[in-house]
Amino acid sequence: GDISSQLHGGYSHPLARSWQAERQLTKSMLIYPLFISDEDDEEILIPSLPDQHRRGINKIVPFLEPLVRKGLRSVILFGVPMKSGVKDALGTAADDPKGPVIATIRLLRQRFPQLFIIADVCLCEYTSHGHCGILRDDGGLNNQLSVDRVSDVAIAYAQAGAHCVAPSDMNDGRIRAIKLKLIEEGIADRVVLMSYAAKFSGCLYGPFRDAAGSVPSFGDRKCYQLPPGGRGLARRAIERDIGEGADIIMVKPANQYLDIISDAKEIGKNMPIAAYQVSGEFAMLHAGAKAGVFDLKAIAFESTEGILRAGATIVVSYFTPQFLDWLES
Ligand SMILES: NCC[C@H](CC(=O)O)[C@@H](CN)CCC(=O)O
Ligand SMILES: [Zn+2]
């Protein structure tokens, strides 16, 4: 037939096939989530999140040493207060100078100078009600109080030495508030502001909430995380956060939201786009592999390469430790 119908030759060799990808997965694209307990010697497997643990500050360095040696470049910290009586309506413990996140930021900065430390910023792990902000009497989020509090926590993490703060709260205007406070503190030039700009409500965060003890005590997050059908709303949230000063835009979840990642890349064409393969997506892949649907390593690569194909060059992945081995070989 007509030679123009012949495409097979262009991908007839493994190297030619790899050349078809616009972006190749490398170790430096990967961010590894860590759950930091306030029980210093704890190291507990998280049943619903395969291969992941909640660790106290005394267990973090020995765990990270081999990973850093293998090329781990970045971690994102989630504080998990396990001690009783810590949580309150304001999430006061979030920026406790002796709390797990601030202590771990300081420790990791000192122990692993090359490691890029990202602090997730939210209140849901620290509030008695489990919501990502401060509540009004009617149970909704008080936007001003929530934004004031979230931005204060972000500054505390930055002052403690976090290279990057990543507010996952989804309160309106928190990016602008954090950027302004970073400028006021004179540290805006040394802190990356990564916005969870398009973060959707839905059913894919269950294992994380088990791990972090951050299940809302009532209601849900549908009034502040985006509705899964809201593609235009996500585009508006991305545009807003870019305008408010975000340095990196993150989309979350990832594999169920590849169109949003490509929208984010189109809108934020001049900036890096991150995506978070969340706990439910990760656990689902493990369940599929366990059920014999596919090989775990194969689906880890195929799902992550799909996230890159959509336009992300930064991936928050619970597969990171294995990728450090798989990308080596
Ligand atoms: N701050 C919200 C945490 C949020 C899940 C939730 O809505 O509870 C994510 C963490 N940023 C969950 C991440 C995950 O499921 O892996
Ligand atoms: Zn939250």
Write the ipTM. Answer: 0.94
pLDDT at residue number 314: 98
Q: How far is the CA of 130 from the centre of ligand 1 (A)?
A: 12
Atom of ligand 1 nearest to the CA of 124: 1
pLDDT tens per residue across span 20-65: 999 999 999 999 999 999 999 999 999 999 999 999 999 999 999 9
The confidence score (pLDDT) of residue 1 equals 61
- What's the average model confidence in pLDDT over 121-146? 97
DSSP state of 315: E
Which tokens go with 266? 């189109």
The closest-lying atom of ligand 1 relative to the alpha carbon of residue 166 is: 11
Taking only the tens place, the pLDDT of each residue in 167-218 is 999 999 999 999 999 999 999 999 999 999 999 999 999 999 988 888 999 9
Of ligand 1's atoms, which has the minimum distance to the CA of residue 168?
Answer: 1
Active site residue 179: no
| pLDDT at residue 213, as a whole number | 87
Is 94 touching ligand 1 by the criterion CB < 6 Å? Answer: no
Summarised one tens digit per residue, pLDDT across range 283-314 is 999 999 999 999 999 999 999 999 999 999 99
Q: Are 208 and 278 in contact (CB under 8 A)?
A: yes
Question: Strands 192-199, 53-55: parallel, antiparallel or unpaired by DSSP?
Answer: unpaired
pTM of the model: 0.97
Whole-number Å distance, alpha carbon 292 to ligand 1 midpoint, is: 28
> Residue 221 CA: which ligand is closest?
1
Write the pLDDT tens digit of every residue in 110-132. Answer: 999 999 999 999 999 999 999 99
Which of 54, 125, 222, 252 most suits a substitution to test ligand 1, by most atoms within 8 Å of the C-beta? 252
CA pair distance 106, 98, nearest whole angstrom: 11
Nearest CA to ligand 1 atom 6: 205
Burial class (CB in 10 A: 0-12, 13-18, 19+), 195: buried
Residue 2 has pLDDT above 90, yes or no: no
